[in-house]
């Protein structure tokens, strides 16, 4: 059962330059070149969001790149410099940090990039343009006590209704690196944890075990009766 998980922040770094024909490229500002320089500054160790319980965090993933001409990143007319370039970014970060801490750290990076490239305009889009279908609300970390009554109840019930037992509570790596919706429940004052079928082997993201699904369903049913009785 997980009660401590990473936060997830999704955003985009957008560079706007100036279009120019390749024969007069010095008259333009290459948005792709500026974006490359900006991403070179994107070092997770400089974000300052460190919790030694969560090794390797914060983690920055550049998840997608697109560049072209005009606001729509038009890809035709390649004889002209790209005047817009966008990088889609996923940041995983530990508690006790909040979304505003991540945004502040990234905005500081963007400010430094703008000072290095005064002829371009570099912005942090949060959330990213809806056209990219990144979506989703901010997902802060969850950091609940592994000794809560809820965790104790589940640990007691599970072996009574199945052949499984709770072997980990609180922080369980690498699974705690994921973001999940329990963070919204816990912040609404609802006691919760992340409990469900996981699967086995290296491809746990691609399957779950029916036996685990049954065990979880039985556990939750008994838990509901206990809480509502």
Q: What is the pTM of this model?
A: 0.86
What torsion, rounded to 10 degrees, do the Cα atoms 95, 86, 127, 56 define? -10
pLDDT at 135: 73
46 Cβ contact partners less than 8 Å away, ≥ 6 residues apart: 105, 109
What SS3 class is residue 148? coil
The confidence band for 120, taking pLDDT boundaries of 50, 70 and 90, is very high
Q: Is 180 a residue whose pLDDT tops 80?
A: yes
The confidence band for 138, taking pLDDT boundaries of 50, 70 and 90, is confident
Domain boundaries of the chain, sorted by first residue: 4-132, 142-228
The confidence band for 203, taking pLDDT boundaries of 50, 70 and 90, is low
Mean pLDDT to the nearest integer, 142-170: 93
Mean pLDDT to the nearest integer, 93-103: 95
Each residue's pLDDT tens digit, 54-73: 999 999 999 999 999 999 99
Write b or e for each residue in 58-69: b if 16 or more Cβ atoms lie within 10 A of its Cβ, otherwise e: bebeeeeebbbb
159 Cβ contact partners less than 8 Å away, ≥ 6 residues apart: 165
Mean pLDDT to the nearest integer, 211-223: 95
CATH 3.40.50.1580 fits 4-132, yes or no: no
């Amino acid at each position: 059962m997980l009660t401590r998980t990473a936060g997830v922040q999704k955003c985009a770094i957008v560079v706007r330059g100036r279009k120019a024909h390749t024969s007069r490229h010095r008259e333009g500002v290459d948005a792709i070149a500026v974006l490359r320089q900006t991403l070179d500054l994107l070092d997770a160790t400089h974000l300052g969001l460190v919790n030694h319980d969560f090794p390797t965090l914060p983690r920055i993933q550049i998840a997608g790149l697109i560049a072209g001409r005009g606001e729509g990143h038009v890809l035709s007319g390649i004889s002209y410099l790209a005047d817009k370039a966008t990088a889609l970014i996923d940041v995983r970060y530990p508690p006790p940090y909040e979304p505003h801490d991540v945004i502040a750290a990234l905005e500081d990076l963007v400010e430094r990039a703008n000072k290095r490239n005064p002829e371009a305009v570099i912005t942090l889009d949060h959330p990213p343009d809806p056209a990219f279908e990144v979506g989703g609300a901010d997902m802060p970390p969850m950091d609940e006590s592994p000794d809560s009554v809820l965790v104790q109840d589940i640990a007691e019930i599970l072996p009574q209704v199945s052949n499984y037992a709770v072997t980990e509570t609180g922080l369980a790596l690498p699974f705690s690196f994921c973001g999940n919706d329990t963070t919204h429940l816990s912040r609404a004052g609802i006691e919760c944890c992340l409990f469900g079928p996981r699967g086995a082997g290296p491809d746990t993201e691609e399957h779950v075990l029916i036996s685990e699904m049954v065990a979880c369903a039985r556990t939750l049913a008994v838990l509901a009766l206990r809480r509502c009785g």
